[in-house]
Structure 1
Amino acid sequence: MRGRWIDVWEPEDETFWREKGERIAKRNLAFSVLSEHIGFSIWSLWSVMVLFMGPQYGIDAAGKFFLIATATLVGALIRIPYTFAVARFGGRNWTVFSALLLLLPTGVAYAVMEPGTSYSTFVLVAALTGVGGGNFASSMTNINAFFPLRKKGWALGLNAGGGNIGVPVVQLVGLLVIGTAGALHPRIVLGVYLPLIVVAAACSALFMDNLTPVKNDTGAVLEAVRARHTWIMAFLYVGTFGSFIGYSFAFGLVLQTQFGRTPLQAASLTFIGPLLGSLVRPYGGALADKHGGARITLATFAAMSAATCVVIHASVTASLAVFLVGFIALFALSGLGNGSTYKMIPAIFLAQGHRKGLSGEAAEAYGRRLSGASMGLIGAVGALGGLGINLAFRQSFQTAGTGTGAFLAFLAFYAACIAVTWAVYLRRPAAVPDTAAGAEEPEDRPGYAKV
């Protein structure tokens, strides 16, 4: 090791992992979670700020949905360059820089968050908060390189889940401020996060490492772009992570707009769903490690469809209690699906390596190359699902005054996700080795059942 660079990293070597690798990987995971957590809080900042924006701001519900949609869009698009920044600058180095960059949107929001500020200014500041969404992509790419395949479901689920908790935490901070200081003091929320950003950057600088073997592979990126599984998984990730982040941003505003909740009432409920969705994400990865990501993902989409039916019924009958049950179930299920879909990515490309006739380290190297290259694209497209959700809500409330139309569209999309998961990953006959057992699967077993 030279400075904070590690020149040799072989996590698939069990001796290396036991004697040295696991300790280093877990330390990097812990501080990656901290930085990503703050990033998610800043990305979802406007899901809280809109609760403070009363009539004196002169912005209607459609305008508020557009603000959070803007943050979602930028956060999705910026994930692509953030993915490649890890190999270019080093995981530790980029984590420090990306954490410090969060000072920009937070500081600017602190300066302008008051009645009388133009709507275009609010749109610009909401766009700046999108940099927090990029932290997820770089963090996941970095942690993916630290852990062996057998541990990736757990590690990626924990990393993402710890980051996702940044959404309910900033919403809890907003609740605390509204409940104590009132809805006229949004700057207190921003003032809480400015020092936390500095702490996250300092911890990353002191305790994280760069991996020299992690390199940007242009050939792998081009191959990942051409691989149909990259886009299939991006589609499925729209259904899981797109749902999680879209609902997280919109939940409080839906409660205010459709059910007439006050800012305090909305804030007291908003955090519950994102918190559950974040906490269960590692379990989605762990279940996928044990039972196969495709099976867990299929079951998750089926359950999400059922929960959406409950929400549609509640929306039509104006039942807040039933709506909360269905909506919070959607959060929890999307969290499970986030974990299981991300576990599928490295396993799918390992299986593809076997299908190409590779074995052993050659197959594992192929899987690492393609999964690392595809994760940024998959994460970016998945996050765009959050944009779609907020735009659907905006249109639904503009035209009908309720979110029912949007929920019907979401139900149709989950049905499509069920069909794709089954058709691509659970229907086909066996053609790849069972990497866990090292033996060929029977001909009548699905080839991707264990991904």
Structure 2
Amino acid sequence: MAVTEERDALGTITNPRPGRWVDHHDPEDRAQWESTGRPAARRNLWLSIFAEFLGFSVWQLWTIVTPRLNDAGFSLTTNQVFWLIAVPNLVGATLRFPYTFAVPRFGGRNWTIVSALLLVVPCVGLAVVVQNPQTPFWVMLLVAATAGFGGGNFASSMANISFFYPEREKGAALGLNAAGGNLGVAVVQLVVPVVVVIGGGLALDRAGLMILPLAVLAAVLAWRFMDNLSTARSDFGGYAAAVRNKHTWVISFLYIGTFGSFIGYAGVFPTLIAQQFPQVSFDWGFLGLPQVPLTLAFLGALVGSLARPYGGRLSDHLSGGRVSIASYLVMALGALGVVLALSLGSFAMFFTCFLVLFVASGIGNGSIYRMIPAIFRAGVDPEDRAAMTMAKRQAAACIGIAAGIGAYGGFVIPRVFATSITDFGSLTPALAVFTGFYLVCAAVTAVVYVRGRATRFAGTAV
């Protein structure tokens, strides 16, 4: 009787404490998982995906608005244009680190409410500043920086969902969560160009206003249906161990090459198309819709997002190391293809090569994440439960650290392109740098993970 009364006093999935706090949730308990755990986890997952999707959308708003600012009366230089694209990525990457620890501190439901409402700030700010071409550039830069709130959402969302799922299903859930968020980039680049011109004229303020009600809706849904898990705890010991492990930094470096490329190219692709091929235009007339502009740039983020899960699946069969090497080599070829396309003045080749870059980066995202658990398990005796537990803790921490550092590629790539254009008048120097970087990433992966750590300790490639 005492045990029953004690359990009844705890918050459960079906009867949480005030504030929707749940104390009794053990996803590794198969009986509980099948009865109440799985439905609750799925409910929180889908709402988390929706909130993260909006976060990515806000994070990338300036990538599609910026190329149209001069059409709206602004007089921005090329350097200023790329600053407006790069700064949200710098802020978003930095916020991923504190956002990771927000869920254990405040609760997953509570932080989803807060992070969703924070998206109101960049949306309102954008809607205000784009209406006045006399807005000082430093004000526009500050407002663009607030879009980084959306970039931080990824870290808290992934951390929150990881607490809901058992180890045997965590990979699939986190993969779905990540892919759903990444799709926000493609959707905003598809929808915003249409919304800002419907009805005639150019109303860039609508880019921010269109997301406002959705951000509020995400907060309301989180308040009503999501849960806080009191069992969610920050693993500072795991993070400390991961920080001291050199493989955390090697993986973070490699992830700049994959996710950093994805988010960086997604940011600059609309601007590069507009600058390099201003004569190329498409509209929706072929579908019988009003002849409003169709920005094909969204296809890059779309194929990159959809390719991500396949990187993990290929790695299950071929090893993450080998798939990652292939991804880097294809990315190097894609960058060289863009150089050739520019020399030939071929938009079709330019566009196709960029799609190759996006697909390869998406596959690389999946393969790098697939490598992390294997890297930290390498050389660990499976019978040593304490060592295996620490390996899992370090792997989880490495994923969080790499996600933050990799996102800095979204800042670096626009700035490298800006320097290439302003100092050399061409994209070629930037693409040459990226090609060299991908070859270095491929070499590091081969030396350290295909012929190195895994072979020495486990006898197989990671």
Distance in 1, matches of 2:36 and 2:332, equals: 44
Matched ranges for 1:98-109 at <5 A? 98-109=115-126
How much does 1:261 deviate?
4.7
User: Do the aligned residues in 2 keep the contact of 1:46 with 1:126 (CA within 8 Å)?
Assistant: yes
Matching residue of 2:173: 155
Matched, 1:67 2:67: no
Matched, 1:311 2:372: no
SS at match of 1:276: helix
* The one of 308, 333, 342 aligned to 2:369: 342
Matched ranges for 1:416-431 at <5 A? 416-428=440-452, 430=455
User: Do the aligned residues in 2 keep the contact of 1:49 with 1:186 (CA within 8 Å)?
Assistant: yes
Change (3 A) 1:361 1:207: farther
Change (3 A) 1:23 1:294: farther
SS at match of 1:298: helix
Change (3 A) 1:368 1:183: farther
* The one of 403, 417, 427 aligned to 1:379: 403
User: After alignment, is 280-289 or 308-317 more displaced?
Assistant: 280-289
Matching residue of 1:86: 103
Distance in 1, matches of 2:316 and 2:223, equals: 32
Matched, 1:174 2:201: no
User: Do the aligned residues in 2 keep the contact of 1:156 with 1:282 (CA within 8 Å)?
Assistant: no
Change (3 A) 1:11 1:296: farther
* The one of 15, 23, 34 aligned to 1:7: 23
How much does 1:210 deviate?
2.2
Matched ranges for 1:40-51 at <5 A? 40-51=56-67
How much does 1:335 deviate?
1.4
Amino acid in the other structure paired with 2:403: G
* The one of 392, 395, 398 aligned to 2:422: 398
SS at match of 1:180: coil
User: Do the aligned residues in 2 keep the contact of 1:156 with 1:285 (CA within 8 Å)?
Assistant: no
Q: What are the superposed Cα offsets for residues 258-298 of structure 1, whole Å, 9 maximum, x if unpaired?
A: 22257877852111110111122223233334543323222
User: Do the aligned residues in 2 keep the contact of 1:32 with 1:159 (CA within 8 Å)?
Assistant: yes
Distance in 1, matches of 2:318 and 2:230, equals: 34
SS at match of 1:153: helix
Distance in 2, matches of 1:263 and 1:87, equals: 48
How much does 1:141 deviate?
1.7
Amino acid in the other structure paired with 1:44: Q
How much does 1:182 deviate?
4.9
Change (3 A) 1:78 1:111: same
User: Do the aligned residues in 2 keep the contact of 1:347 with 1:367 (CA within 8 Å)?
Assistant: no
Distance in 1, matches of 2:111 and 2:341, equals: 45
* The one of 239, 247, 263 aligned to 1:245: 263
Cα RMSD between the aligned structures?
A: 2.2
How much does 1:209 deviate?
2.1
Matching residue of 1:332: 359
Change (3 A) 1:140 1:44: same
Matching residue of 1:122: 140
How much does 1:430 deviate?
4.3
Matching residue of 2:4: none
Distance in 2, matches of 1:183 and 1:294, equals: 50
Matching residue of 2:313: 286
How much does 1:101 deviate?
0.6
How much does 1:123 deviate?
0.3
Distance in 1, matches of 2:161 and 2:373, equals: 13
How much does 1:113 deviate?
1.3
Distance in 2, matches of 1:361 and 1:197, equals: 43
How much does 1:204 deviate?
1.8
Matching residue of 1:320: 347
Distance in 2, matches of 1:182 and 1:348, equals: 55
Amino acid in the other structure paired with 1:174: V
Distance in 1, matches of 2:195 and 2:279, equals: 17
Matched ranges for 1:407-418 at <5 A? 407-418=431-442
Q: What are the superposed Cα offsets for residues 39-72 of structure 1, whole Å, 9 maximum, x if unpaired?
A: 0010101001113202520102221101111111
User: Do the aligned residues in 2 keep the contact of 1:41 with 1:166 (CA within 8 Å)?
Assistant: yes
How much does 1:398 deviate?
0.5
SS at match of 2:296: helix
User: Do the aligned residues in 1 keep the contact of 2:122 with 2:208 (CA within 8 Å)?
Assistant: no
Q: What are the superposed Cα offsets for residues 287-329 of structure 1, whole Å, 9 maximum, x if unpaired?
A: 3345433232222222222222211211222211100000011
User: After alignment, is 79-88 or 333-342 more displaced?
Assistant: 333-342
Q: What are the superposed Cα offsets for residues 224-261 of structure 1, whole Å, 9 maximum, x if unpaired?
A: 11111111111111011101110111001111112225
TM-score (norm 2): 0.88
User: Do the aligned residues in 2 keep the contact of 1:78 with 1:130 (CA within 8 Å)?
Assistant: yes
User: After alignment, is 329-338 or 369-378 more displaced?
Assistant: 369-378
* The one of 40, 44, 50 aligned to 1:24: 40
Is there any run of 5+ residues in structure 1 with no aligned partner, and where? 433-440
Change (3 A) 1:403 1:90: same
Q: Provide the identity percentage.
A: 44
How much does 1:408 deviate?
0.9
Distance in 1, matches of 2:39 and 2:87, equals: 39
Amino acid in the other structure paired with 1:83: T
Distance in 2, matches of 1:23 and 1:63, equals: 48
Change (3 A) 1:287 1:199: farther
Distance in 2, matches of 1:94 and 1:359, equals: 38
Distance in 2, matches of 1:210 and 1:263, equals: 48
Change (3 A) 1:135 1:65: same
Matching residue of 1:145: 163
User: Do the aligned residues in 2 keep the contact of 1:152 with 1:343 (CA within 8 Å)?
Assistant: no
Is there any run of 5+ residues in structure 2 with no aligned partner, and where? 1-11, 284-292
User: After alignment, is 266-275 or 407-416 more displaced?
Assistant: 266-275
Change (3 A) 1:292 1:10: farther
Change (3 A) 1:71 1:286: same
Change (3 A) 1:150 1:312: farther
TM-score (norm 1): 0.90
Amino acid in the other structure paired with 2:440: A
The structure with the largest alpha-carbon Rg is: 2
